Structure 1
Amino acid sequence: MVGNRLSFFAALYKVNEQPKVGMWLLYITIVILAVIVYKLGFAKKLPLGKSAIVYFFLVIGCTILTFFAVFLPVAEGLVVAALILIIYKIRLRQAKKQQTEGEKEGI
């Protein structure tokens, strides 16, 4: 049975029962998660035109990922990557804050 093999998000959005709506919801979820992961881990300051090109190809790539995400844990992997990057950014910010506080006390 196909319903037993769906990934978590595909089952959540009931891709097997409502394919059109479910696939659109899965696609939107993957695009949002991919943008978050990109911004947290890889984004650099780029001019507006270059950023538009990067996001355009990111959205195109997410189209392909959506088809894989029906049976493979693509969205779930993006959630894990986003959580890891969020934790990393928080720890990095805390370390920088402690370092600047230590420099102020040393002066």
Structure 2
Amino acid sequence: MLVGSPQISEENLEQLTWLMRATAENPWYGFYGFLAIVALAIIVFNLGFAKKLPILKRVLVYITLIIGCFVLWFLEFFFGAPIIVVLIISGIVLGIYRFRLHLHRQQKNET
């Protein structure tokens, strides 16, 4: 249970989102959810949108990305929006796209 919080009844527990229920059992799960969102957002960003930038601009982009991930985590945690699932699917789709693009460029260079 959450430290310093009153006991959560089964009835109240069913009204919570999946991440809130997991966090009620172990407070670290909320943080792990945030880390998962950050990692998946970085992967999706690199697969779909990243360009070669100077180091200072890259650091600024990643700091902004992490701040934006807090908003995504908030939506996942409090409203139950499927942010983690959407990021996984986006990563898979962009990974397939990049792989096919790589194969296409390889074929083009061979001819």
With normalisation by structure 1, the TM-score equals: 0.83
Helix, strand or coil: the match of 2:23? coil
Check if 1:16 corresponds to 2:17: no
Map 1:1-107; keep pairs closer than 5 Å. 1-3=14-16, 5-6=17-18, 10=19, 14-18=22-26, 20-70=27-77, 71-102=80-111
CA distance in 1, matches of 2:24, 2:101: 42
Residues 2 and 16 of structure 1 are in contact (CA less than 8 Å); yes or no, is this contact kept in structure 2?
A: no
**Does 76-85 or 65-74 show the bigger shift?**
65-74
How many residues are matched? 96
| Structure 2 unaligned blocks of 5 or more | 1-13
Q: Judge conservation of contact 1:41–1:85 (CA < 8 Å) in 2.
A: yes
1:101 CA drift (Å): 0.9
Which residues of structure 1 form unaligned runs of 5+? 103-107
Structure number with the bigger relative contact order (C-alpha 8 A, sep ≥ 6) is 1
Deviation of 1:63 after TM superposition, in Å, equals: 1.0
Alpha-carbon RMSD across the aligned residues, in angstroms, is 1.6
TM superposition shift of 1:14: 1.6
User: Deviation at 1:49?
Assistant: 0.5
